Amino acid sequence: MTTPRRPFDAYDTPAWQVDALVDHVPAIGGAIWEPCVGDGSLVARLIERRPDIDFLLTMDLDPARVPMIVGDATDALQWRTLVHTYGRPSWVITNPPFKDAHAILALAVEHATVGVIVLTRLSFSEPTKDRGAWLKTHPHDQRIVLPRHSYTRNGRHDSVTTEWLIYARDWRILTPPFGICAHGYKPHAPRAPRHP
């Protein structure tokens, strides 16, 4: 039995995934945009870990999430309007709806001045007919593979391996290694005591 997708394909980012990102990419800074802010969990943890961020702009398609901007991150005109109003972002850091990840990533790479970080399923890097040509000409510069996580929090459905893909205009700002296994970041639930 399959579980229906959530409205707006919203699967929020746990703090430990942001910790794995911040610990391995110290170059994060400047003006940051989160075009798929959802419940704000990614942004909240990012601010906790990096209070020196200069500027943060949030956007989401769902007005109930109360983003700074209600807009469609797959719309090129929306991106041009934001750039005209706020200038280009240094970084775009986002956990987009998986079905729209490629469209959003392509627009983010086009507009960010320093880099883009996107949370995707591990299978995103597979060169499918829809994104293979783009991935060939836009290889990521670093990846952080995360332990499997249940985004529905029930341990059964939507349990998927994800990764942060990092794209930088100048890869030299990144700290090796460039392929990272983030083993140990995921907190483990305490085990119930065994009855004698």
CATH number at residue 115: 3.40.50.150
99-104, Cβ contacts within 8 angstroms, sequence gap of 24 or more: 99/9, 100/9, 100/73, 100/74, 102/130, 102/131, 102/134, 103/73, 103/74, 104/35, 104/36, 104/73, 104/74
Determine, yes or no, domain membership for 16. yes
Query: Which range marks the domain in which residue 84 is found?
Result: 7-181
pLDDT by residue, tens only, the chain of 196 residues: 444 444 555 578 999 999 999 999 999 999 999 999 999 999 999 999 999 999 999 999 999 988 999 999 999 999 999 999 999 999 999 999 999 999 999 999 999 999 999 999 999 999 999 999 999 999 999 999 999 887 666 665 566 889 999 999 999 999 999 999 999 998 765 555 655 5
Rounded CA separation 155/149 (Å):
8
Q: Cβ contacts of residue 156 below 8 Å, gap of 6+?
A: 150
Domain count within the chain:
1
pLDDT of residue 2: 47
Residue at 52 is within a domain? yes
- State the pLDDT at residue 9: 55
